[in-house]
Chain A
Amino acid sequence: MKTLTYREAVREAMREEMRKNEYIFLMGQDVGPYGGEHRVSGDLHSEFGEWRVKDAPISEQGIIGCALGASITGCRAIAEIPFMDFIMLPMDQICNQIAKYLYTFGGQASVPLVIRTAMGGYIRAAEQHSQCLEAWFIHIPGLKVVIPSTPYDVKGLLKTAIRDNNPVIFVEHKYLYGMKGEIPEEEYTIPLGVADIKKEGNDVSVIATSYMVHKALNVANKLEKEGISVEVVDPRTLVPLDKETILKSVEKTSRAIIVHEAPLRGGIGGEIAAIIADEGFEYLDAPIKRIGAKDAPIPFPSVLEDFILPSEVGIEKTIKELL
């Protein structure tokens, strides 16, 4: 085992895959010699050179369209959109073009590309640099959506995403980039569509994504000392979604809370809650609860941002209310 940050794990996944296939390239603003807006690409430019690690102009439609054009003509693109907020600019390319290319043309061309983007708040970055928009993409058939929470997961899942012949929206989290974790020395991958139980428990299932997994774990560890046993389930990928693991957990605990950082309204919590209600209603001893951001844009000062976004105090309170 070795210790890597989440950021280094992303970079290592790209490096390993790029060494295997000379037609994989990374494109984005400042991914080259500068090393990436979140320092993720680091030294990749010096290893792979100008055409495989390509600094792009500030043209999000251009970058994503270019990634698509290259990916249907023999390459595999990794496009970086450093703040998920900016992903609104190339939405046509993502949702009307990339997601539908295989389907529209009757299966003639697959689109093996990954759009890596970083979501998330708690960094005092205000309304246009903090959003979590993963729910938008699960609503578009044809896209896979991956949302890893740990260095181990992010590396294994990114390698799989790069090898996948379908387009993948790969949602990293800015707050997690510095987080350290254990990673095997040897190569490994993690399949898409397999949830991970981050902590086993018996009293309540907390289904959490991305940074919220860590908040849920902190609460679970605290409550353990009070005799409350919390199971933390990380779906890891939203499309495909591992319903079975979620339902099995709820069957065991009879209580479900879904936690995501995105606004509650229209968030993935609604989708997961509906699945539990449809397919696991008889397991439940209490209503399904959802925790997400309050329905407002994200202000920058800590006093305001922390009020809007989910908190450990809030998760703890909801768990106790449910038991």
Chain B
Amino acid sequence: MNNIKLNKELILSLYETMLKIRLFEKTQERVFKTEQEGFTHVYTGEEAIAAGVCANLNKDDYITSTHRGHGHMIAKGGNMKKMMAELYGRLTGYCKGKSGSLHIADFSIGVLGANGIVGAGIPIATGAGYSIKLRGTSQVVACFFGDGAVTQGTFHEGVNMAAAWNLPVIYVIENNLYMVGTKTERVCKVCKNYAVKAQGYGMPGEDIDGNDVIEVYTATKKAVERARSGKGPALLNCMTYRHSTHFVGDLDVRDKQEIEYWKARDPIKRIEEKMLKEKIITEDKIKSCRDKIQGMVDEAVEFARKSPVPKPEVALEDVFVE
């Protein structure tokens, strides 16, 4: 675990964010199977990245998200009830229940959309960065995507443009070693130390332990400060691992030992151990914290269950705006 000293409140809030994501996702895995339609990809095991990155962002900063996006939304301050209602396809959901798990967005807090197309959010984030430059504000954009998205052309195009024009965008790779069932190293020569790619585009890059929330927080802080002061983008390659299958209900082709290795490096367990050791928290406080958050998640589920399903005609709304 990283030794950098952060103040106690900050560590506690990072922990709380991670726990919110974990308990939301654990609950989602359970209710999805019997109560929802569609597909859902959960973020368990990767919580430190969303938490560490978004703790550096203001409400009016932007993020772009992915098919595995619930964690980003929670970390950016999203509303669990509206999110759960969306996963249930209810009218009270973020997208009126039209789009579900892969397409959560909340423009009021700068979440510019999760995305079902791998890599598509990268140039969109670049464009939000362009807009910040043109409008002359000091906002920044955090662009989340997986190690699989790095093999898309959009990565090359979007990152190159941001570097060329010094746009305030932090590109965050959630490097969980896999793209569905294919280990990324089988299809991409340089894939564990993606930071070297940053150099090729002319921006700083860092390979980070993505399961260490303090390391993610600290690296992002540096990148965000740099971006806010007009010095341009950065690339953060966060090594991590998903605890779940690719999507809920998918088969798992991963090596058992590999899964065990990574579960032992569970980001939440690690921060709990650190906090206990440094007496930032007690076992009792951990328990009460978990109970409190589980209560919030359960409320979100109840809200979703009780929410109305959309009338069929809702399917014709929002094709065009006035």
A→B interface (CB under 8 Å): 23, 25, 51-52, 54, 56-57, 59, 61-62, 64-75, 77, 92-93, 96-97, 101-110, 141-142, 144, 165-166
Contacts and interface: CB of A to CB of B under 8 A. Distances in A.
Interface of B: 62, 64, 93-99, 103, 105-107, 112-113, 115-117, 120, 122-135, 153-154, 156-158, 160-161, 164, 317-322
Contacts of A61: 123, 153-154, 157-158
B190 to A, nearest CB: 21
Contacts of B130: 54, 66, 69-70, 75
Contact of B125 (A69, A71, A106): A69
Nearest to A89: B153
A51 B133 contact: yes
B128 A72 contact: yes
B128 A69 contact: yes
B131 A109 contact: no
Given A59-B156, A69-B127, A165-B322, 14 more contacts: A51-B133, A57-B157, A62-B123, A62-B154, A62-B160, A65-B123, A65-B157, A65-B158, A74-B131, A101-B113, A104-B99, A106-B95, A109-B113, A142-B320
B318 to A, nearest CB: 4
B160 A57 contact: yes
A68 B157 CA distance: 14
Contacts of A54: 130
A105 B126 contact: no
B134 A69 contact: no
Contact of A103 (B98, B116, B133, B164): B98
A56 B167 CA distance: 14
B160 A70 contact: no
Nearest to B320: A166
Contacts of A166: 320-321
Most buried by A among B99, B157, B158: B157
29 contacts: A23-B134, A23-B135, A59-B156, A59-B157, A61-B123, A61-B158, A65-B122, A66-B124, A66-B126, A69-B123, A69-B131, A70-B127, A70-B134, A73-B128, A73-B132, A77-B127, A93-B123, A93-B124, A101-B113, A102-B318, A103-B98, A104-B113, A105-B99, A106-B94, A106-B95, A106-B96, A106-B97, A109-B105, A109-B113
